């Protein structure tokens, strides 16, 4: 390696590091600020401080009367967990039918499923809201979870169909020889072998449901049903700029579940994005 | 299944029974999706198409008013503003994001120490960026006494309240979208790894400069991935809601400068309960997105280069 390529390599490295740090700086600054006394947060753009405190966390946690952020976290986790389980089961069932079984109208249904991937949710929004409203489901978790039980996240079905098709059919055939039926092939052959795509589905269902502010703001209107994103929004309504410390503290907490999931399953996420084009 | 079928040819009766069993099983597996598709997607689609020709406030029965909603839209200043804001956003944010993603991906597409760490660093913003938390942070960064102006003050530049200025508020949301280029970058990186090394070696033998190699080898071979990212980002950007809602506190202000289409649709449908109008807006959105997607698809044969000639 000659001198000039060596220098250009170092320049590239330095650029990548500096630019990356610059991008992450606001987030790091928010984390640091959440531990600073309110009065010191805007005194300098630095992340360092002469005083540290946990006050922002206790104040933010109890910002609403009678309800704590603990309740919001509980609601968010409940909705996200049901969504994950529901997507794993119902999307894989539909995908199994599309990938492995023969049945009338298969092509038509498959085309319908593909179409719904690209359809903006707004096209079905008002009637869906009317249905859930008439069922008395507004201010419950049902409008946020029942659609997942009915496999409406077609993107994951598509993802699983692609994966299931890659599982060798010889395995199905030898299972049939051993006396397995259609249902056992699904539970004993396909699902165990599909763990990578199931993990990808679980991760992204969790993240997207956790962050699904639009559906949550539509269907959850009473404070005790609020999720974490709706809880954060309360700060903007009620207290405004006066309490940025507690806003930052709760914002940091709200990012912890997603970040944790990311760092545990990093390998699956990056591979998932790279091979399937799924986005965070 | 072909081999087992061949074995069973003499037993036609048994075969048709097997077939029926498979049909039933298939529909059992398909059932949740089928109910969801018919009840929560197809039905509501037809119903919202109908509602777009009516006046509807959720409580009373819809009243047929023909094309009035659509006519009203084109005279509604706020609707025009919202269409402009969203189109401006799409036409600036999508290309900037893809270019940033491509450039960083090319830089990272080398054998180097710490590649995993860099990839994580650049990907992280797109993982977090869709949250309310980051939208709140963004709002604060660009306030008059926010971090951005504090940094500018170091360089003796007098900043201003970016969020509250109608010329700059949309810009802050575009920056937020660009900040999240990491997901596209990871897809570009995967695409770059697919390009055969021999092509680069051949280009080097022919004495191609770095720039020539990029434009004549890398870019054409990466065009299917660019195409894919373009379609995905278009669909995502045209539906942006959270950042605009949080940064403008639900108003779309100042002076409608962050009144994204979906934000206005939300206001019409769920704060003013003009649900017929909101449905009409939704169908215009579907139509515009459809036209833009078709344009990209049809133009792709002129700029997307498939190694195998485009056959599936």
Q: How far apart are CA B50 and CA B276, in angstroms?
A: 9
In this complex, which of A127, A150, A213 lies closest to B132 when CB atoms are compared? A213
Phi, psi (rounded to 5 degrees) for B63: -115, 125
Q: A150, B289: Cβ pair inside 8 Å? A: no
Q: Render pLDDT for B169-218 as a digit per residue (tens, 0 to 9).
A: 899 999 999 999 998 998 898 888 888 888 888 888 888 788 888 888 88
Find out whether B239 and B11 touch, Cβ atoms under 8 Å: no
Tell me: do A131 and A193 sit in the same domain. Answer: yes
Q: Does A280 touch chain B (CB under 8 A)?
A: yes
Tell me: do A47 and A85 sit in the same domain. Answer: no
Q: A120, B239: Cβ pair inside 8 Å? A: yes
The whole-number pLDDT of residue A230 equals 94
Q: How far is B8 from chain A (nearest CA, A)?
A: 14
Q: How confident is the model at residue A160 (pLDDT cuts 50, 70, 90)?
A: very high
In this complex, which of A93, A186, A237 lies closest to B32 when CB atoms are compared? A93
Find out whether B137 and A26 touch, Cβ atoms under 8 Å: yes
Query: Which candidate, B292, B283, B286, B289, places its Cα nearest to that of B70?
Result: B283
Q: How far is B237 from chain A (nearest CA, A)?
A: 11
Q: How far apart are CA B165 and CA B247, in angstroms?
A: 12
Q: Render pLDDT for A98-108 as a digit per residue (tens, 0 to 9).
A: 999 999 999 99
Rounded to 10 deg, the angle between the B182-194 and A266-276 helix axes is 70
**Residue B59 covered by a domain:** no
- Judged against a pLDDT cut of 90, whether residue A78 lies above it is answered with yes
Q: Is the dihedral of CA A128, A131, A133, A135 positive or negative?
A: negative
Tell me: do A108 and A219 sit in the same domain. Answer: yes
Q: Render pLDDT for A223-263 as a digit per residue (tens, 0 to 9).
A: 999 999 999 988 876 655 568 888 999 999 999 999 999 88
Computed over every residue of chain A, the mean pLDDT equals 88
The whole-number pLDDT of residue A275 equals 65
Read off the pLDDT of each residue in B102-114 and give the average, rounded to a whole number. Answer: 84
SS3 B35: helix
Total domain count, chain A: 2
Q: Which chain A residues are within 8 Å of B31, Cβ to Cβ?
A: 93
In this complex, which of B35, B186, B249 lies closest to A150 when CB atoms are compared? B35
Query: Could you tell me where the DSSP H helices lie in B63-218?
Result: 68-75, 77-108, 115-128, 132-141, 147-154, 169-179, 182-194, 197-205, 210-213
Query: Which candidate, A199, A207, A210, A206, places its Cα nearest to that of A267?
Result: A199
Computed over every residue of chain B, the mean pLDDT equals 87
Q: How confident is the model at residue A123 (pLDDT cuts 50, 70, 90)?
A: very high
Question: Domain range spanning residue A167?
Answer: 69-276
Q: Which chain B residues are within 8 Å of A121, Cβ to Cβ?
A: 239
In this complex, which of A16, A169, A207 lies closest to B107 when CB atoms are compared? A16
Q: A125, B269: Cβ pair inside 8 Å? A: yes
Find out whether A261 and A207 touch, Cβ atoms under 8 Å: yes
Query: Which candidate, B137, B135, B145, places its Cα nearest to that of A45?
Result: B145
* Domain end position, chosen among A33, A60, A87: A60
Which residue in B has a C-alpha nearest to residue A229's C-alpha?
B132
In this complex, which of A21, A126, A252 lies closest to B48 when CB atoms are compared? A126
Q: A44, B189: Cβ pair inside 8 Å? A: no
Contacts of B68 (CB under 8 A, 6+ apart): B55
Q: Does A60 touch chain B (CB under 8 A)?
A: no
Total domain count, chain B: 2
Q: Which chain B residues are within 8 Å of A241, Cβ to Cβ?
A: 143
Tell me: do B147 and B9 sit in the same domain. Answer: no
Q: Which chain A residues are within 8 Å of B235, Cβ to Cβ?
A: 118, 120
For residues A74, A77, A81 and A87, what is the CA-based torsion angle, rounded to 10 degrees?
A: 130
- Judged against a pLDDT cut of 90, whether residue B117 lies above it is answered with no
| The pair of three-digit structure tokens given for residue B271, joined into one six-digit string | 């704060």
The CATH number linked to A101 is 1.10.3720.10
CB pairs under 8 A between A and B: 270
- Judged against a pLDDT cut of 50, whether residue B311 lies above it is answered with no
Phi, psi (rounded to 5 degrees) for B61: -70, 145
Find out whether A164 and A99 touch, Cβ atoms under 8 Å: yes
Residue for token digits 């005083």?
A: A51
Contacts of B212 (CB under 8 A, 6+ apart): B203
Q: A258, B36: Cβ pair inside 8 Å? A: no
Tell me: do A209 and A116 sit in the same domain. Answer: yes
Question: Domain range spanning residue B85?
Answer: 71-303
Buried b vs exposed e over A47-59: b needs ≥16 C-beta within 10 Å? eebeeeeeebbeb
Tell me: do B239 and B198 sit in the same domain. Answer: yes
Q: What is the length of chain B? A: 312
DSSP-derived secondary structure for B57-74: -SSSPPEE-TTHHHHHHH
Tell me: do A54 and A73 sit in the same domain. Answer: no
Tell me: do A222 and A176 sit in the same domain. Answer: yes
The answer, yes or no, to whether ipTM is higher than 0.90 is: no
Tell me: do A132 and A174 sit in the same domain. Answer: yes
**Residue B64 covered by a domain:** no
A180: left (phi over 0), alpha (psi -120 to 50) or beta: beta
For residues A145, B183, A120 and B136, what is the CA-based torsion angle, rounded to 10 degrees?
A: 70
Tell me: do A257 and A121 sit in the same domain. Answer: yes
The CATH number linked to B239 is 1.10.3720.10
Tell me: do A218 and A135 sit in the same domain. Answer: yes
SS3 B54: strand
Tell me: do A126 and A156 sit in the same domain. Answer: yes
Phi, psi (rounded to 5 degrees) for B54: -130, 170
* Domain end position, chosen among A43, A60, A77: A60
Which residue in B has a C-alpha nearest to residue A152's C-alpha?
B36
**Residue B133 covered by a domain:** yes
Read off the pLDDT of each residue in B127-155 and give the average, rounded to a whole number. Answer: 88
Q: How far apart are CA A70 and CA A226, in angstroms?
A: 11
Q: Does A213 touch chain B (CB under 8 A)?
A: yes
Find out whether B37 and A113 touch, Cβ atoms under 8 Å: yes
Q: Which chain A residues are within 8 Å of B127, Cβ to Cβ?
A: 207, 258-259, 262, 269, 280
Read off the pLDDT of each residue in A262-278 and give the average, rounded to a whole number. Answer: 73
Tell me: do B130 and B235 sit in the same domain. Answer: yes
Q: What is the pTM of this model?
A: 0.88
| The pair of three-digit structure tokens given for residue A129, joined into one six-digit string | 């809201």
- Judged against a pLDDT cut of 50, whether residue B312 lies above it is answered with no
Contacts of B247 (CB under 8 A, 6+ apart): B135, B138, B139, B163, B169, B172, B173, B258
Q: How far apart are CA A185 and CA A173, in angstroms?
A: 9
Q: Render pLDDT for B28-41 as a digit per residue (tens, 0 to 9).
A: 999 999 999 999 99
Q: Does A152 touch chain B (CB under 8 A)?
A: yes
Find out whether B82 and B259 touch, Cβ atoms under 8 Å: yes
Q: How far is A105 from chain B (nearest CA, A)?
A: 10
Kindly report the number of other CB atoms within 10 A of residue A108's CB atom. Answer: 9
- Judged against a pLDDT cut of 90, whether residue B278 lies above it is answered with yes
**Residue B57 covered by a domain:** no
Q: A101, B131: Cβ pair inside 8 Å? A: no
Contacts of A131 (CB under 8 A, 6+ apart): B39, B40, B44
Buried b vs exposed e over A70-82: b needs ≥16 C-beta within 10 Å? ebbbebbeebbeb
Q: Is A195 exposed, middle or buried (0-12, 13-18, 19+ CB in 10 A)?
A: exposed
Q: Is B164 exposed, middle or buried (0-12, 13-18, 19+ CB in 10 A)?
A: middle
């Amino acid at each position: 390696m000659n001198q000039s390529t060596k220098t250009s390599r170092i320049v590239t490295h330095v650029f990548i590091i500096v630019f990356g740090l610059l991008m992450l700086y606001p987030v790091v600054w928010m984390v640091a600020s959440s531990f600073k006394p309110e009065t010191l947060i805007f005194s300098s753009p630095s992340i360092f401080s002469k005083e540290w405190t946990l006050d922002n966390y206790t104040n933010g946690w109890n910002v609403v009367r009678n309800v704590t952020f603990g309740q919001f976290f509980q609601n968010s986790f409940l909705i996200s967990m049901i969504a994950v389980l529901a997507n794993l089961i119902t999307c894989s069932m539909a995908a199994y039918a599309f990938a492995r079984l023969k049945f009338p109208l298969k092509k038509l249904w498959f085309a319908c499923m593909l179409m719904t991937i690209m359809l903006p949710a707004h096209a079905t929004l008002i009637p869906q809201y009317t249905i859930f409203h008439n069922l008395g489901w507004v201010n419950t978790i049902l409008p946020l979870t029942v659609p997942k039980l009915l496999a409406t996240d077609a993107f994951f079905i598509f993802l699983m169909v692609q994966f299931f098709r890659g599982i060798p059919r010889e395995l199905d055939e030898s299972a049939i020889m051993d006396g397995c039926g259609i249902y056992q092939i699904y539970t004993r052959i396909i699902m165990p072998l599909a763990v990578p795509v199931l993990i990808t589905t679980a991760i992204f269902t969790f993240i997207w449901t956790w962050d699904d502010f639009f559906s949550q703001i539509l269907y959850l209107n009473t404070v005790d049903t609020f999720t974490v994103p709706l809880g954060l929004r309360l700060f903007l309504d009620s207290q405004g700029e006066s309490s940025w410390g507690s806003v930052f503290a709760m914002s940091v907490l709200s990012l912890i579940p997603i970040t944790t999931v990311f760092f545990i399953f990093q390998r699956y996420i990056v591979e998932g994005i790279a091979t399937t084009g799924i986005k965070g | 299944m072909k081999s087992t079928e061949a074995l069973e040819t003499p037993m036609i009766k048994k075969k048709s029974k097997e077939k029926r069993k498979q049909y039933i099983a298939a529909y059992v597996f398909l059932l949740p999706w089928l109910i969801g598709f018919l009840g929560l997607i197809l039905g509501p689609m037809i119903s919202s198409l109908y509602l777009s020709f009516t006046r509807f406030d959720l409580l009373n029965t819809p009243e047929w008013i023909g094309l009035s909603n659509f006519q009203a839209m084109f005279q509604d200043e706020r609707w025009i503003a919202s269409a402009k804001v969203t189109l401006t956003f799409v036409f600036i944010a999508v290309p900037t994001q893809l270019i940033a993603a491509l450039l960083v991906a090319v830089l990272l597409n080398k054998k180097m120490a710490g590649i995993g760490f860099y990839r994580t660093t650049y990907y992280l913003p797109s993982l977090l960026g869709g949250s309310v938390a980051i939208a709140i942070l963004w709002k604060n960064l660009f306030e008059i006494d926010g971090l951005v102006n504090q940094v500018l003050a170091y360089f003796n530049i007098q900043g201003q309240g970016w969020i509250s200025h109608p010329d700059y508020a949309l810009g802050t949301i575009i920056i937020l979208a660009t900040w999240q280029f990491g997901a596209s970058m990871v897809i570009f990186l995967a695409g770059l790894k697919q390009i055969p090394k021999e092509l680069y070696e051949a280009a080097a033998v022919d004495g191609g400069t770095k720039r020539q190699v990029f434009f004549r080898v890398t870019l054409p071979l990466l065009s299917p991935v660019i195409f894919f990212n373009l379609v995905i980002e278009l669909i995502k950007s045209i539906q942006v809601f959270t950042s605009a809602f949080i940064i403008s506190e639900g108003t779309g202000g100042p002076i409608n400068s962050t009144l994204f289409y979906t934000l206005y649709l939300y206001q019409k449908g769920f704060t003013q309960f003009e649900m017929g109008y909101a449905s009409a807006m939704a169908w215009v959105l579907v139509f515009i997105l459809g036209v833009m997607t078709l344009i990209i698809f049809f133009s792709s044969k002129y700029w997307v280069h498939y190694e195998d000639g485009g056959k599936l």
